[in-house]
Amino acid sequence: MQEEIIAVVQDVGYCSENVLTSYSIEAPGSFAEKQGLVYRETVNSVHKKSKGQFFSPFELAKFMASFCSIKSSHITILDPGCGTGILCCTLVEHLVDNSKVKSIELTCYENDPDIIPYLKKSLLNLQRWLNKRNIKFLTKIVPDDFIICASQIVNDKNAAKYDVVISNPPYFKLDVTDTKVALTEKEIGRQFNIYSMFMAYAAKLLNSAGEMIFVTPRSFASGKYFRGFRDKFLRVVTIEKIHVFRSRRAIFRRDGVLQDNIILKAVKKSDITGDVIITTSNDLQDINQQEHMRIALSKIVNYSSSEKILHIPTTREEEKVLEIFSSWENKLSDFDIKVSTGRVVYFRAKEFLLPEDSENCQKVPLIWLHNVNNMLFDWPLNYKQCHQYLKLDAKSQRLTIPNGNYIFVRRFSSKDDKHRLIAAPYINNNPEFPALGIENRVNYLYKANGMFTPEEVMGLSELLNSEIYNQYFHTFSGSLNISATELRELSIPNFEEIKLINNQIFK
């Protein structure tokens, strides 16, 4: 056994028998976390941000490891963005404590050469910890870019497949010119978020009964930018479990990162008739008092939809909201309603922006996010940085829309807003203005042919501002961004019911 250890340790860069005999053995997960804390003191925040490098706390690693249900005697593990090994080392601890595993093969990808010495220490400690328990351990570090490597082997029938892939992938966006974008487009669609690339390739590298456990932003759950990813990802794996953190500081507090994160477990199977377990906690401190619910997978993903939005209800009330929405068969387009985004991009249209007291030129209202409030269109405002008028001439006309009856919806809400959807009715009471300018952070709803009646504007605005729509958006939108695509996909009741809402409000 000692010769076998030395061979493995040589693989991770330690071949001295003196090192083996003098090195104290610690619990692998906590030891790897210590290595991460030592390493993070050697780099600045710019380096960490450029690498998307925010290490998992030990409490998170333990919780993620508990998601694994593999019980084989021989287990293969992949950690595609290993860091100092906190996740894979903690997972191995969990497997040893909760299964009859006799041998483990671990593959670690890490392309930051500065981290690898710390990773090697973690794996050496893990090796000796397993040796005490008579468990065979083979490991290798691949000091290369996981995405590039995976793109080259994913269709190789002889390439290794894994029982478990566990990861806290890097979080950053790739430039459109990055080679990885073009390299991976055929397999996983056109992606710019590095974390979704990790998820896509991890799913493809699972064996026939494999499990993947990821902590990621929840932004992939909706939106057109992740549509292709969701479609391909959900064809390869089936979601079994999701944990939601209510606090945006829950995971990476020590790095000062604000992020809506979830933990997701998915398995390599095509059965979509089962249930998903959804758990919730405020943060890592109350993770043992988590709320728990079981819901049919078919309720949270519509597999027949082109969007395949992932809804993540965390209460029975939100589950009921999803049931109500699924009973509404209409979309806005069924009533000849379209959704567009404002054409005025501030920094590109500065020459056309006018203060209120401008004279000697034709001007029209310019509608900003600040003018749009819950059931209230508030214009003009005395905002020096947001001129309330747009110069109307032959050059700027392309930036405007005809004056009429519209519903304006903020594209962004703040974290302090009680509602994710904020809509304002606009009825044309300013006939002196032939057109309107809409700033790019505002979406607007309009009739494709003809014009909304005042009753339709008020009824639909009230509906969009309602608590049921707010809760519906909370089930899938982790960001504060409301896209035109998400509005187009909204289910709505019959239009006669919308008119009744208006009549009830103003009767």
* Chain segment 380-396, per-residue pLDDT in tens: 998 878 899 999 999 99
Cα distances (angstroms) measured from residue 391 to each of 180, 352, 353, 373, 387? 43, 5, 6, 24, 11
Q: What is the pLDDT of residue 23?
A: 56
Dihedral of the CA atoms 298, 299, 302, 304 (nearest 10)? 50
Distance between CA atoms of 409 and 341, rounded to whole angstroms? Answer: 9
Residue 319 within a domain: no
DSSP 362: -
Residue 2 has pLDDT above 70, yes or no: no
**Among 191, 114, 115, 109, which Cα is nearest to 150's?**
109
Q: Which is more confident, 132 or 39?
A: 132
Q: What is the pLDDT of residue 8?
A: 41
**CATH number for 367:** 3.90.220.10
Question: Could you say which of 217, 233, 249 is where a domain stops?
Answer: 233
| 227 and 346 housed in the same domain | no
Percent above pLDDT 70 for the chain: 88
With beta carbons less than 8 A apart as the criterion, state whether 281 and 246 touch: yes
Residue 246 within a domain: no
Strands lying side by side in the sheet with 337-341:
337-341, 442-447, 406-410, 423-426
Residue 73 within a domain: yes
Helix 227-236 / helix 179-188 crossing angle, nearest 10 deg: 50
Question: Could you say which of 206, 233, 260 is where a domain stops?
Answer: 233
Question: In the chain, how many domains are there?
Answer: 2
Q: Which is more confident, 204 or 51?
A: 204
Strand 353-354 and strand 291-296: the pairing is unpaired
Binning pLDDT at 50, 70 and 90, where does residue 1 land?
Answer: very low
Residue 329 has pLDDT above 60, yes or no: yes
Q: What is the pLDDT of residue 12?
A: 43
Question: Could you say which of 233, 253, 275 is where a domain stops?
Answer: 233
Residue 326 within a domain: no
| 221 and 340 housed in the same domain | no
Tell me what the mean pLDDT of segment 76-88 comes to. 97
Residue 189 within a domain: yes
CA-angle at 78, arms to 133 and 53, nearest 5°: 110
Q: What is the pLDDT of residue 51?
A: 65
> What are 443-482's pLDDT values in tens digits?
999 999 999 999 999 999 999 999 999 999 889 876 668 8
Tell me what the mean pLDDT of segment 116-129 comes to. 96
Q: What is the pLDDT of residue 187?
A: 78
Q: Which is more confident, 21 or 126?
A: 126
Q: Which is more confident, 157 or 235?
A: 235
Percent above pLDDT 90 for the chain: 64
Strand 353-354 and strand 435-438: the pairing is unpaired
Residue 60 has pLDDT above 90, yes or no: yes
| 338 and 476 housed in the same domain | yes
259-273, 344-358, 365-379, 475-489: range with highest mean pLDDT: 365-379
Q: Which is more confident, 251 or 413?
A: 413
Residue 301 within a domain: no
Exposed/middle/buried for 232, CB within 10 Å: 0-12, 13-18, 19+?
middle
Q: Which is more confident, 260 or 407?
A: 407
Binning pLDDT at 50, 70 and 90, where does residue 402 land?
Answer: very high
Residue 266 has pLDDT above 50, yes or no: yes
Tell me what the mean pLDDT of segment 303-332 comes to. 92
Q: Which is more confident, 439 or 224?
A: 439
Residue-averaged pLDDT of the chain: 87
Cα distances (angstroms) measured from residue 235 to each of 197, 301, 339? 15, 12, 29
Residue 376 within a domain: yes
Residue 70 within a domain: yes
| 77 and 207 housed in the same domain | yes
Binning pLDDT at 50, 70 and 90, where does residue 4 land?
Answer: very low
Domain that holds residue 177: 2-233
Q: What is the pLDDT of residue 52?
A: 61
> What are 63-72's pLDDT values in tens digits?
999 999 999 9
With beta carbons less than 8 A apart as the criterion, state whether 279 and 315 touch: no
**CATH number for 68:** 3.40.50.150
> What are 29-57's pLDDT values in tens digits?
999 999 999 988 887 777 666 666 677 88
Tell me what the mean pLDDT of segment 232-246 comes to. 94
* Lowest-confidence region among 6-10, 135-139, 390-394: 6-10
| 341 and 211 housed in the same domain | no
Q: What is the pLDDT of residue 155?
A: 85
